[in-house]
Chain A
Amino acid sequence: MADQTYPIPGTLDTTPSRGAALLEWVHSWVVTVDHKKLGILYIAYALVFLLVAGVEAMAIRIQLAIPHNHFLSAELYNEFFTMHGTTMVFLVGMTLIFGFGNYFVPLMIGARDMAFPRLNAFSFWMSAFGGLLLYFSFIGGFGLYGMGSAPDVSWWAYAPLTAKAFSPGHNTDYWALALIVMGFGTLGAAINTLATAFSMRCRGMTLLRMPLFVWLMVVASADTLIVITPLTAAQVMLIIDRYLGGHFFDTQAGGSATVWMHFFWIFGHPEVYVLILPAFGIASEVIPVFSRKAIFGYPAMVAASVGIAFVSLSVWAHHMFTIGMTSVSNAFFALSTMMVGIPTGIKIFNWVATMWGGKIRFATPMLFCTAFLFQFLCAGLTGIMLAVAPWDWQLHNSYFVIAHFHYTLTGSFVFCFFAAIYYWYPKITGRMLSETLGKWHFWLFFIGFHMTFDTMHFVGFLGMPRSSYTYEPDRGWTTLNMIISAGGLIQAVAVLILVWNIIDSFLHGPLAGNDPWDAWTLEWSTPSPPPPYNFETEPVVRSRRPLWDIKHPNDPDWKYER
């Protein structure tokens, strides 16, 4: 049968119907193993949850804008700040770094795909379903309060609040299980990134010629391996306690609530370095290109990144100064925390030295990275203040701490990833984002950010505690809280401008061409968007700036680089 052909009468209409074409298109995204498509899926997924967690943050800020507000009940407030934190760290932060890592690590090292394309797809879908599981709790997690109840134990979920007696229902289980599922996805993505960076490099791409973004993804992935897994282990223990009647964190049976704190922060503190390291990578790509200079002190940047990863593993108990550790432990964790300032200081000086004397173009990506430099410096300084144990005894659990870590996570991480969106959007879609809207986005977000988080330092000094759903009018916090909430609203408007910019530029933006920024790394040598195979022929690299060598054959980098 099969080897015979039959003439078909009339003409055959080969164009599928609209419905079939749509189905085909959706199918191609669901079954894809292409690192670029998966990267886009990661980034889109992160942006959707950025909006969701942003809405949660806005609800929190509306509730706190005036004292004795009744916008959110106390129960709902607990759910919202728990979900805001969990979503921002796991569904936005981790997916953004592995989204951009997925898309650009293979392109930057001249590879055609990740080392394990199918593991890559598996990792993404594990993360995606973990996120859905977490959010299904809003309708599925029977808690104390009847139908549907999201996790409300805050993102660090201290024992014994998570015990069955104090958190009945299933909302805490949704939290633990979702994080385990996402943890497996993250672990797969980290392993894949490491294997790609070590085993898929094109000819001549030695380790010390890799772009700094790739280096930082390598360091962050290596950190992920030993950071996410303790969280998974601790969550398994929590599930054993809750379902099998175990006693790990059951203080009445000899268990210890402090052990949970240690296990959680062994994960929790290095986790923020996992998030910030790829952000450093973005700054290290954007700042040289827009300053028209090669990065200053490349080997020092690599060494400092590895140094940060190592030091970050020994600082976790600075979250626990107030539980009454021995003075030796306090001193150790205070000093090790302050030591983080040395490699990060090296990085800041190198970025400033890269800009020094450069021909700086303040396009939107560069604006975000410049703001990042100053905000990260402030975040680092308040971090060193909080590392001083007696200072921490005063300000622990106050809004000063909230201000500090939002300076690192919003002021540094989010600013760098906004820069990344403006910098690489032309490569991903083939169209430029609007510079006018970009400038509006930057300035509004910048002003809103400082209104909100600068002011938070002061309500922290005045003693306002975190995680409480309202406050008394006679404390002197009212005006400051109104300013904080107004700043939040301005940031929300700025993010909506970004969303509009992304959608509108996708349809009407000017065409980008291969290399709109006149940049130097390999991804800009491919068409925009790159074809499925990335490179027609495998590139050969002789320096850290391969495109510079091609553009300036009389003055190539490899003559000077050592």
Chain B
Amino acid sequence: MSTIPIFADESWRLPSRGRVAMFSLIIGESAIFTIFVVAYIYYIGRSVTGPTPQILDVPWFNTVCLLSSSIAIVFAERAIEHGRIRAFAAWWALTMLLGIVFLAGTAIEWKRLIYTNGLTIRTNLFGTTFYSLVGLHATHVVVGLLMLSLVMIFTLLGRVEQRHTQRIQVLSLYWHFVDAVWVVVFTVVYMMGK
């Protein structure tokens, strides 16, 4: 590229390493979810005994909570970008609250399935694939909540400032990914599979 010589005064811009790394992690995580989703779809209707997916109730409320948490975190990102730390803390807390409500909803659903319908991970193929796929997603929500609460603690201690915007945005990418995966899990488990 002899026509485009690079000299020291020229601007030299590189992508943020945080973003590159988070996108890489998301690609890897997507592969894990793909395997579990494929297993779920392949095994639909192959259980030889026990309850079938018809016992599932569609978790509309949960889904709305989790998806709106993605909107809340976008407002949190906007707030910190403009240095409004109090607004950031409020939106961040709302995001966490919506995440916790989602987890609680999953817990209630699982309790009903286990005690009322008698479906556990060892009951039949449906139980194995259902709990592992939804559980894998719930695990990601838990990890996300742990990271979010770490940021929340630092915010309450007054350590989070406008200059941390990029790190907050990288973390938000992960949360958006967890929400996006739920759309897939929801479609496969509660729409296609039922």
Contacts and interface: CB of A to CB of B under 8 A. Distances in A.
B132 A240 contact: yes
Contacts of A222: 24, 27
B122 interface: yes
B191 interface: no
B125 A199 contact: no
Interface string B1-32: 11101111010101111101100110111111
A240 B31 CA distance: 19
Contacts of B28: 187, 190-191, 225-226, 228-229
A230 B31 contact: yes
Contacts of B121: 240, 244-246
Interface centre among A208, A256, A560 (most CB of B within 10 A): A256
A254 B43 contact: yes
How would you classify the secondary structure of chain B's contact residues: helix, strand, loop or mixed? helix
Interface stretch (B34-42, B96-104, B182-190): B34-42
Contacts of B62: none
B129 A198 contact: no
B171 to A, nearest CB: 15
Interface residues of A, number: 53
A203 B14 CA distance: 10
A542 B132 contact: no
Interface string A213-228: 0000000011001111
Contacts of B192: none
A239 B136 CA distance: 14
Contacts of A187: 25, 28
A541 B1 CA distance: 12
Contacts of A204: 6, 12
Contacts of A192: 21
Interface string B26-64: 011111101110010011001111000000000000000
Contact of A229 (B31, B48, B49): B31
B165 interface: no
Contacts of A247: 122, 124-125, 128
B39 A259 contact: yes
A201 B2 CA distance: 19
B82 to A, nearest CB: 26
Contacts of B12: 203-204
Contacts of A227: 31
A194 interface: yes
A206 interface: yes
A226 B31 contact: yes
Contacts of A237: 36, 39, 132
B27 A540 contact: no
Given A116-B17, A198-B15, A203-B8, A248 B39 contact: yes
A147 to B, nearest CB: 30
6 contacts: A191-B21, A226-B28, A248-B125, A248-B132, A255-B128, A263-B39
Closest 5 CB pairs of A and B: A245-B122, A204-B6, A199-B17, A233-B35, A246-B128
Interface of B: 1-3, 5-8, 10, 12, 14-18, 20-21, 24-25, 27-32, 34-36, 39, 42-43, 46-49, 121-122, 124-125, 128-129, 132, 136
Interface of A: 115-116, 187, 190-192, 194-196, 198-201, 203-204, 206, 208-209, 221-222, 225-230, 232-234, 236-237, 240-241, 244-248, 253-256, 259, 263, 266, 540-542, 558-562
